[in-house]
Chains A and B, each alone.
Chain A
Amino acid sequence: MERELKVNHLTRVEGHGAVELKLEGSQVKEIKLSFTEGPRFFEFITRERLFSEIPKIVSRICGICYVSHRLAAAKAIEDAFKTEVPEAVELMRRLLIVGEFLESHALHLYFLALPDYMGYGSAVEMAKDYPNVVRRGFKIKEVGNRIMKLLGGKTVHGEAIVAGGFTRAPEKEELELVIDWLTEILPELEATAFLFDSLEYFELESPVELEVSLENPVPSEPSDRVAVSNGLKFTKQEFEHFIKEEVSPYSTAKRSTVNGKAFRIGPLARVNRGEDFYTEETKEVLSRLKNRFPSQNPLLANLARAVEMVELAHRGVKYAEKLIELLPFEPKAELEPGEFGGYGVKEAPRGVLYHHYRFSPSGHCIGANIVTPTAQLQACIEEDLKALAEKFSYLPDSQLKKRAEMLIRAYDP
């Protein structure tokens, strides 16, 4: 018997998307995950723009992970102009990433994902019965926002983050405040990890074998090399040779593969190989969880987010302490534009992103290539959806659809 399932508008995900599934018995005959986000032509609109304009323009790719786009662009520009940034700038960036991940992960966990597991349509409804849980989500998000506002000048799109560094250095009192905020939410972050460890995730073994993350999978630690779970490693300059993109016939996001295969990126891919890189505090939390990493269950990306928040908050305290020691410092390196190309790779909350620019002698952009997590995840989510539909084909349409949505939300493409 043939069955057709359609989710026309995916909700509680960051972009716009739809799913179409055709089943015959327990066999999936056709699957289409389409991202219907309109194109914004970033690779075109950056052209002819002066290098200093680029971070500002590309931060508008994503209002949630703008820090990652802005930093990937800044790094690509510094790479092109052979500029080393001062240690303090590097540390400010790491702290900024802590802010971004706290905000993005808390938004994801408490507002997009959790309502599913608690049986609500939204966090607003959930707040009536669980006000303190929702309040915790807001509190963590708020700390992330405050850090981004402090270092970037604005909560969203932070104009103070520029190629070369920042337009303003923080003051000692401000950094001390950051330490207080982070220390204060540490128990909340651990509680988040145990809450997401206690949820009932349905069993699903992902057929996607390959996982891709930066060589150092801790998102706040810089890394110029990409690691694939089959042992392959490549540099940021080689990214386009290994990660192949093609235009999808049913999605405005391109489809990416490595060695012709779909691959997973994002929190689960990172945490699956992260333990050796983590601080003792995070290892201790990991040892007390009932779920174990590495895991092939894509839904555990939710728990992975919570683990990453614990790790990043601990690191954030250290970054801020070190920054206080370095005060006063120059928050920016001067750039000498020229005719070069440069590359930047970065772990964004949803996975690896890649920026590549070429410049004319006057420092005007003449070409750009940007690979976002959404594009890389399309093929991976489709394979997981296929496995899910075949495993749970006995379920009625409404329940099968619900599970499909929960799976897609775990990636939040």
Chain B
Amino acid sequence: MVRIGIVGLTGCSGCQCEILNCEEALSKILQRAELAFFPLAKDDHTVPELDLALVEGSVSTELDEEKVKEVRKKSKVVVAVGSCACYGGVQAQRNDEASLKEMLETVYGGEKLFLKVFKPRPVSEVVRVDYELPGCPLDKRQFIYTVASLLNGVKPFFPKIPVCHECKLSETECLTLKGIPCQGPVSFAGCGAPCTASGIGCQGCRGNCDFPNFDEMVKLLTERGLKRSDALKFLKVFRGKTFNTEKLGSYADGKGA
């Protein structure tokens, strides 16, 4: 029996919930694999030896750091699931703008916390990660595809094509053409583009596609009424360090950034 672990660091547990939502697929997976560690749903207090560990959440405290190092040591394959584990998540969106001290002062009034905390980091900054399944939350089908592939000795592969590709496949009308701010052209597909189908632009929760043209994206967004500074913040929400504003060309909106 292959031993699988599902580990939560600092996050919202949304990815773990999505995994639980894969009811039918999970029961099939459990014919070949054992869920050996899953504290959200099982009485598991210590990390056992694992073949496959799925890690949710960002590394934000000393406990997270210890836990993820232990998981790495005891697991053959480590998969970071969700945008927090892959990029740091929403909690990392202002990492480059502010100091930890400033963040702590705003939230805890400068009082000392009982445990050591860090700026939220992706798992790959702390340990080696074999695969990344971004998304906020992760996509169920990608989770099933990954586990099924690994159970059969196949390496999962995720082409970093843009979300626009999936809108074309599902015949969803282009929101950029309709004037709605949409990050589809620069975002990593694989979710099936559910947001654009419900009339809201892609929020970029899965991070960057290959060769994203951020200069052009910023230009498109500012043309659709966002100030340049707001467009940059919009792009930053889920991308963590993978979005570097310094690398951008200068598209002034005339209203001041």
A107 to B17, CA, bound (A): 9
Cross-chain contact B14 with A157 (CB below 8 angstroms): yes
In the complex, B197 has a CB within 8 A of chain A: yes
Q: A12-B41, A153-B194 are in contact. Are A252 and B113 (CB under 8 A)?
A: yes
Within 8 A of A (CB), among B51-67: 57-58, 60-61, 63-64
Which of B98-106, B126-134, B159-167 sits within the interface?
A: B98-106
When distances are taken between beta carbons in the complex, the residues of chain B under 8 Å from A297 are: none
Q: Least Cβ distance of A66 to chain B in Å?
A: 7
Q: Which of B39, B91, B136, B199 contacts A41 (CB 8 A)?
A: B91
Cross-chain contact B90 with A142 (CB below 8 angstroms): no
Cross-chain contact A124 with B13 (CB below 8 angstroms): no
- Most chain B CB within 10 A, of A38, A49, A121, A138, is at A38
A180 to B11, CA, bound (A): 35
Cross-chain contact A38 with B203 (CB below 8 angstroms): no
Q: A38-B64, A44-B103, A53-B237 are in contact. Are A60 and B90 (CB under 8 A)?
A: yes
In the complex, A111 has a CB within 8 A of chain B: yes
A279 to B75, CA, bound (A): 52
When distances are taken between beta carbons in the complex, the residues of chain A under 8 Å from B106 are: 41, 43-44, 47
Which of A160-168, A288-296, A389-397 sits within the interface?
A: A160-168
Q: Least Cβ distance of B41 to chain A in Å?
A: 5
Cross-chain contact B233 with A48 (CB below 8 angstroms): yes
Cross-chain contact A40 with B120 (CB below 8 angstroms): yes
Cross-chain contact B10 with A63 (CB below 8 angstroms): no
When distances are taken between beta carbons in the complex, the residues of chain A under 8 Å from B60 are: 38-40
Q: Least Cβ distance of A295 to chain B in Å?
A: 27
Q: A11-B44, A121-B42 are in contact. Are A63 and B230 (CB under 8 A)?
A: no
When distances are taken between beta carbons in the complex, the residues of chain A under 8 Å from B137 are: 63, 156-157
Cross-chain contact B12 with A251 (CB below 8 angstroms): no
In the complex, B8 has a CB within 8 A of chain A: yes
Within 8 A of B (CB), among A108-159: 111-112, 115, 121-124, 138, 141-142, 145, 152-157, 159
Cross-chain contact B42 with A11 (CB below 8 angstroms): yes
Closest residue on chain B to residue A62 by CB atoms? B12
Q: A121-B42, A250-B114 are in contact. Are A41 and B107 (CB under 8 A)?
A: yes
Q: Which of A38, A145, A252 contacts B21 (CB 8 A)?
A: A145
Cross-chain contact B9 with A38 (CB below 8 angstroms): yes
Cross-chain contact A156 with B17 (CB below 8 angstroms): yes
- Contact code string B71-95 (vs A, CB < 8 Å = 1, else 0): 0000000000000000001110110
In the complex, A61 has a CB within 8 A of chain B: yes
A16 to B13, CA, bound (A): 10
- Contact code string A316-348 (vs B, CB < 8 Å = 1, else 0): 000000000000000000000000000000000
When distances are taken between beta carbons in the complex, the residues of chain B under 8 Å from A121 are: 42-43
Closest residue on chain A to residue B226 by CB atoms? A50
In the complex, A37 has a CB within 8 A of chain B: yes
- Contact code string B13-45 (vs A, CB < 8 Å = 1, else 0): 111111011010000001000010011111111
In the complex, A177 has a CB within 8 A of chain B: no
Cross-chain contact B98 with A44 (CB below 8 angstroms): yes
A111 to B39, CA, bound (A): 11
- Contact code string B214-257 (vs A, CB < 8 Å = 1, else 0): 00000000000000001001100100000000000000000000
Closest residue on chain B to residue A125 by CB atoms? B42
Cross-chain contact A63 with B194 (CB below 8 angstroms): no
When distances are taken between beta carbons in the complex, the residues of chain B under 8 Å from A9 are: 39, 45
When distances are taken between beta carbons in the complex, the residues of chain B under 8 Å from A198 are: none
Within 8 A of A (CB), among B164-221: 194-195, 197-200, 203
Q: A45-B90, A159-B203, A160-B199 are in contact. Are A36 and B61 (CB under 8 A)?
A: yes
In the complex, A14 has a CB within 8 A of chain B: yes
Closest residue on chain B to residue A10 by CB atoms? B39
Q: A43-B106, A155-B18, A162-B200 are in contact. Are A61 and B12 (CB under 8 A)?
A: yes
Cross-chain contact B198 with A39 (CB below 8 angstroms): no
Cross-chain contact B198 with A167 (CB below 8 angstroms): yes
In the complex, B157 has a CB within 8 A of chain A: no
The 10 closest A-B pairs by CB, nearest first: A63-B14, A38-B60, A38-B10, A153-B198, A122-B42, A40-B91, A63-B12, A167-B199, A160-B198, A121-B43
Q: A38-B10, A44-B103 are in contact. List 9 more A-B contacts (CB 8 A).
A: A14-B13, A39-B103, A48-B233, A53-B233, A63-B15, A64-B13, A122-B38, A122-B41, A138-B23
Pick 12 A–B contacts, CB within 8 A, sort by A. Answer: A14-B40, A36-B115, A40-B60, A44-B94, A53-B234, A60-B14, A62-B13, A63-B12, A152-B198, A157-B137, A159-B198, A250-B114
